[in-house]
Amino acid sequence: MPAHTAHLSATGFEPQPKPIAIGLALALSMGSFAASAADADLTLKPVVVTGSRVEAQSFDLPYSVDVIDARSIGEAQLKVNVSESLAAVPGLVVQNRQNYAQDLQISSRGFGARAAFGVRGIKLITDGIPASTPDGQGQAATFNLDTAERIEVLRGPFSTVYGAGSGGVIQLFSREGSGAPSIKAGVLGGSWGTTKYELEAQGEKDGVGYLVNGSRFDTDGFRHHSAASRDQSFAKITLRPDQDSKLNFIAATLHQADTQDPQGITWDTFQVDRRAVESAATDYNVRKNIDNVQGGMNYERRIGAGTLQLSAYVGRRSVLQYQSIPTFVQNIVTRPGQAGGVIDFEREFHGLSARWIHTLAALGGELTLTGGVDYDRSRDDRQGYENFLGSATAPTVIGVRGNLRRDEIDTVTSLDPYLQASWKRGKWGLQAGLRHSHVETEVDDRYLANGDDSGSVSFNKTTPAVGVTYELNPALNLYASAARGYETPTLGEMAYSAGGTGFNLGLKPSTSTQYEFGAKAFVGDYTRLNVAVFQINTDDEIVSAGATGGRTYYTNAASTLRQGLEVAVDSEFSQRWRGKFAFTHMRAVYDASDSGIDDGKRLPAIPATSVYGELAWQPLQGLSTALEAVYRSRVFVNDANDEQVAPSYTLFNLRVAATQTQGPWQFQQMLRLDNLFDRTYVGSVIVNDSNGKFYEPGPGFSAYAGVSARYSF
C-alpha cells in the first residue's frame, strides 16, 4: 500500500491483581482531570489509512485502529524491536522472546498466538511492502524503527480486507526527508552486552526529499547462547513530479550473522536458572543466519475527483538455520523422509498493487469508492541437510552441515481483487468491503531418493466486511462491525504429515466470523476513551497435532471461540502530565472440537487478562519521564492444558528522555530501566513443544542509556 502523509502531533509466581486496580484508578482519574484546552486532536484524534485505505480520523471509523506516533516509538526506547512500541495497544500481545533467531511473538485477539517462530496470522506491512509472505508468515525484524513516522494497528473484522491470514494488521510508515539537510549520530549501550550505533542523513534539496539510515545492534543476550547482531540500512527518496503527484523509492536491508538460538526450556530448568538453556541448544550450536534485501516504489496521483495509487516491490531473503534435531531421528535407513537438521533456503519475492479511490456525492451524503488488486509471489529454493558428519548412530561431529536430505522449490502466489466503500451522511457512517482471495501453493520436489512429494493446492475465498457508526453527540461515536475471514496454512504448517514425512496437502484453511461493538468518546478536551467488545467464531482452526522425528505436523480443529473486552484511555490531562491505560480481557477456548481437544480447553499462549498503564511527567521543556506497568495473566502452554502454566506477572519500567537545542545542533539523551524489581517471569511460550521445552524466560533488571546529536545545515 502506498505511503500516505498524516500529521500527528516483574514478576512473581503468584497472580498479582493489584496493578489492575491501580490501572483502573488511573483511568478514572484521567477523566476527572481532563483539561479544557482544545489542541489535542493530533494525538487523540489521529488520521489513519489502515482499514479504509483513505485518510480518515480514527474516531470516525467503525473498528479498532490505533496509532503509535513517532514520539512514542522513539522516546527513551532502544528502537530495536516493535514490542517496545506496541505495549499500549489493547487486544495485542507482543512478546520479545529474547531470541533474535525466532523473532517476536505477536497475537491480535488470539490470531497468531500459536506461531513457533516469526509472526503468523497478522499482516505486516512497511511502506507498502508486505513483511508477510502470501501464505501469512511474517517477519517483524524487517521493521526499521529508527526511520518510523508512525505505526498503525488494526484489529477486528476489517482486518479481513487485507486478505488471507489477516487476523490483524500492523503497518509501519517511514518518515519522508524534509526541511534543511541534517546528519545524526547516536550510540546506546546497557545490560547483557547491548550496544547500538546509528547514523542518519535526511532533508530536502531542490524538491527531492531523502532519508538514509544505517544501524548496528549487538547483544550477548539475557539468556545463555542468545547472542545476536543486526545490521540494518534504509533509504527513501521522495519526488513530487507536479502538484498532483508523489513518488517514493524505498530500499532496505537486514543482516543477522550467527544469531544464537537459546530455544525453550523445561519448567524444572526454569525454576533452577532463568538464564539457562537446555544442553541440545549448545551441543548442536543452534543458530541462524538471515539476509534480507528489498526495494519498492509507491506512486500516487490525483486525477479529478479520484486518486490513483500504484505500488511495486521486489526482494530476496536468505536463511541458514542449524537446529537441534537429534542425529538418531535423521537415520536415513529408518526415516528416509526425514528432512535433516539444517534448513537452507533462498527466497525471491515480488508484488504489485493498484487501486483507484473516487469520491462523489451520493444518497444525500459523501461516498468514497475504492477498487484495487494485490498480487504477491514468493519462491523458495529450499534444501535440508543433516546436522552432523559420520553416521546417524555414531556421528563424528554435530552442529554442522552434512548430507543433503531435502531439495525442493516452494512457490506461493496470491491474487486478490477487492472493493471498498465509505459513506457519510449526517450522524451516520457506513463502511463496507469485499475481497476475493486466491492463494496457490506449489511444491516441486527435487530430492527423489525417498519418493516424489511434489504437489499443489489452491484456496479461494470471498470475505465481506461491513461496519456502521452513529454520532450520538460530537464527543461520542457508537459503532458495530462484522466480517468473514479466513487463514490459509503456511508452507511450514503443510511441510509435514502425520509420520513426519510428505507434504500435508490435506490441511484446510480456517474460517472465521467476527463481530465487534464499541464506543469512542472524548472526556473533556484532552482524554480519549475507546471501548470494544468482540466475538470471533473460528472453524477448522489450525493446531499442532503432534511431532515425529523432530518435526511438528498440523491438523484442523473443529472450532474455537474468542470473546473479549478492550478498553483504552489516552489522556493529556495537563501540560505536564499524560497517562495511558490499556486493558484486555479475553476468553479463548476450543468449542465443539473433534480433533482430540476437549471442549472448553483454553487456547494456549493467550492470556485472559492483559493490562498496560503509563504515567508520564514533563517537568520542563525538553525533559520527560514515565513509569510503565505491564500485567499478563497466566497462559497455558499446550492444547490439553495439562502442563505447568506460565504464571502471571507484573513488570514496572522507568524511562527518561531529554532534548537540548543549541543553534544548528540538537542533542538527545535517554535512560531506560526495565523490570525495576528484577522479577522472574516467563516472557513467552512455545506452544505444544513435543519435548516439554515450553518456556522462554524474560530478562531480569535491565538498564540502557544512549545519546545522539543532530546537526542541521
pLDDT tens profile 80-121: 999 999 999 999 998 888 899 988 889 999 998 877 777 888
Give percent above pLDDT 70 in the chain. 92
Closest CA to 58 of 571, 479, 525: 479
Q: What is the CATH topology of the domain spanning 18-712?
A: Maltoporin; Chain A (2.40.170)
36 has a pLDDT exceeding 50: no
Task: Specify the range with the lowest mean pLDDT, choosing from 39-53, 224-238, 465-479.
Answer: 39-53
Grouping H, G, I as helix, E, B as strand and the rest as coil, residue 704 is strand
Q: Read off the pLDDT of residues 565-608 as tens digits, 9 standing for 90 and up.
A: 999 999 998 889 999 999 999 999 998 766 567 778 999 999 99
**Domain range summary for the chain, segments of one domain joined by +:** 18-712
| Interatomic CA distance for residues 42 and 89, integer angstroms | 18
Cell, residue 223: 539468556
pLDDT of residue 501: 59
Query: Which residues lie closer than 8 Å to 25 by C-beta, 6 or more apart?
Result: none
Asked whether residue 10 carries a pLDDT value surpassing 90, the answer given is no
Choose the weakest-confidence range: 4-8, 235-239, 460-464: 4-8
Distance CA(589)–CA(604), nearest Å, equals 9
Amino acid letter, residue 526:
Y
Give the total residue count for the chain.
Answer: 713
DSSP 84: G
Reduced 3-state DSSP string for 387-437: CEEECCCCEEEECCCCCEEEEEEEEEEEEEEEEEEEEEECCEEEEEEEEEE
* Structural contact between residues 672 and 149, judged by C-beta atoms closer than 8 angstroms: no
> Which amino acid is it at 251?
A
Q: What is the mean pLDDT of residues 353-366?
A: 94
Confidence of residue 500 (pLDDT cuts 50, 70, 90): low
In this prediction the pTM is: 0.92
Q: For the chain, what is the mean pLDDT?
A: 90
CA distances from 551 to 306, 324, 424, 573 (A): 51, 11, 52, 54
